[in-house]
Structure 1
């Protein structure tokens, strides 16, 4: 039986979860053997809708991607649930929907609607009591305690680290399983977070963001259990595509491009063509 996220959280060592945003990224990350995958709202909204991560995607948009990715991989999936897509009843609906779709954890945050990407400016948070109430509703909505509630606060940027830590305590009392203190701005702030809580902590490693990128060993030493890399794959793919398309536009061909292409035969196997070929052989007239 595959190891679930709940089982893995009980085992020693850090969980490194790459960001996945479509089925190609999900299948490649799944094949790489990670302990968990992170469905990034930033990446899904960008790749699926071509929009910024600014509260423009609906619950229906996102739960469809959760189901598609969860069904297509064997690795446990942590899925971004934004603010829960509305009020308390919406949070209840989102948790039930994400769990039924196959995710093993939902991330919920305390921003005002419409939310914004956590490493961009002008984010505002709702009152702490309201945010804790959302986490309580989320905890009560799940059908199994193995489905984990990741409670995120964006209070650090506008209200300081002390307020973010207070919110973390409130979220734990409300039933959160994993705490996500977004956007600490130094290693010392991350150390304070790690020393403040004796529960699984999530570090958000955003290249070019507000939080320093640290090694797995350093994050473990600071007390973190999960490290997500939500945009690394998306940024790498975007850079490669931009380089390739620029070369093609300039030269009219892929010949001479300095980047690396996946082997065509490797890609068609990865995406599942072998099953199609086997099916056709078995059902040939």
Structure 2
């Protein structure tokens, strides 16, 4: 009912403990608070909040147009409705070291369990598009040092994302990952790895948790959870998948309205009203007002 009972500090501590276990944690991408609650209901380990999804939700391309306030606000809305830890895409930290420091504290105050900051230049672009540019090692490590210095809860996960693989190759990616760990990064997000061998090489290079990004239509093959576990990954995200599936279904429903004028043939594809009310914990609100849930929804 209302929001999660688990505090942000408790979520962060539990998430760190799970990461320390070495198991692979599965974090589907939530595109709104309700989808985050469904992710929890289906038994996943955490929630991922994608910058690309946040931008798309605003009708914008993923090129750094979203602001810290928009990202932190949406992160707060999503994190507070689920007992699961949520990690969020903080792009390049929304500026240089001072901006990164403020970003970390805003994200911490919003109740997130962690965030990642990347080494692209501003304005950034989607990690699976060609033509990306990355900053030099000094600039990248300054961002991470600022992030680590700014956090007040030591359990807030500060993850460094590196996009250098696509620009300069795998050796550059492993070198950059090592430098980011030396700068204080708790975990590494090596973007646009192409093969399991590349993930394995990254695993051999650093001794911190690693994230695998299984985004569709990108540079990486879509490996299974077991395949990623076998090469030592610790977190796997499907950042935009739920949005893509939802938008695909919405497009088909709109086509149906254009073609036949009603959605009777789509009822089996919809979330039933009863399931929605159950997910919202509608009945629990009767503790405030017994007139809230005094009806039955027929299936």
Which contiguous aligned blocks of 4+ residues in structure 1 show a shift greater than 4 angstroms? none
Q: 1:115 to 1:193 in 2, by over 3 A?
A: same
Determine if the alignment matches structure 1 residue 7 to structure 2 residue 17. yes
- The answer to whether the Cα contact below 8 Å between 1:139 and 1:149 also exists between their aligned partners in 2 is yes
Provide structure 2 residue ranges, at least 5 long, that are not aligned to the other structure.
1-5, 293-299
Q: Which residue of 2 aligns with 1:172?
A: 181
Q: Which residue of 1 aligns with 2:28?
A: 18
**Distance (whole Å) between structure 1 residues aligned to residue 128 and residue 280 of structure 2:** 33
1:256 Cα deviation (Å)?
2.1
TM-score by length of 2: 0.90
- The answer to whether the Cα contact below 8 Å between 1:8 and 1:35 also exists between their aligned partners in 2 is no
Q: Which residue of 2 aligns with 1:101?
A: 110
**Distance (whole Å) between structure 1 residues aligned to residue 77 and residue 267 of structure 2:** 34
Match of 1:71 among 80, 103, 115: 80
Q: Which residue of 1 aligns with 2:297?
A: none
Determine if the alignment matches structure 1 residue 113 to structure 2 residue 122. yes
- The answer to whether the Cα contact below 8 Å between 2:196 and 2:228 also exists between their aligned partners in 1 is no
1:1-285 pair list within 5 angstroms: 4-47=14-57, 49-257=58-266, 260-281=269-290
**What is the root-mean-square deviation of aligned Cα atoms in Å?**
1.8
**Distance (whole Å) between structure 2 residues aligned to residue 133 and residue 12 of structure 1:** 28
1:282 Cα deviation (Å)?
7.0
Residues 40-69 of structure 1, C-alpha deviations (whole Å, 9 max, x = no match): 11111112x111111010001101011111
Residues 245-265 of structure 1, C-alpha deviations (whole Å, 9 max, x = no match): 111111110022386111111
Q: Which residue of 1 aligns with 2:296?
A: none
**Distance (whole Å) between structure 2 residues aligned to residue 173 and residue 187 of structure 1:** 25
**Distance (whole Å) between structure 1 residues aligned to residue 44 and residue 238 of structure 2:** 12
* SS in structure 2 at match of 1:256: helix
The worse-fitting range, judged by mean Cα deviation, of 80-89 and 265-274 is: 265-274
- The answer to whether the Cα contact below 8 Å between 1:240 and 1:259 also exists between their aligned partners in 2 is no
**Distance (whole Å) between structure 2 residues aligned to residue 276 and residue 245 of structure 1:** 34
1:276 Cα deviation (Å)?
4.1
- The answer to whether the Cα contact below 8 Å between 1:195 and 1:222 also exists between their aligned partners in 2 is no
1:80 Cα deviation (Å)?
0.8
- The answer to whether the Cα contact below 8 Å between 2:31 and 2:49 also exists between their aligned partners in 1 is yes
Residues 73-102 of structure 1, C-alpha deviations (whole Å, 9 max, x = no match): 110011111000011110000001101110
**Distance (whole Å) between structure 1 residues aligned to residue 258 and residue 206 of structure 2:** 53
- The answer to whether the Cα contact below 8 Å between 1:22 and 1:44 also exists between their aligned partners in 2 is no
Residues 192-220 of structure 1, C-alpha deviations (whole Å, 9 max, x = no match): 11222221111000111101111111111
1:277 Cα deviation (Å)?
4.6
How many residues matched? 283
Q: 1:278 to 1:263 in 2, by over 3 A?
A: farther
**Distance (whole Å) between structure 2 residues aligned to residue 258 and residue 165 of structure 1:** 49
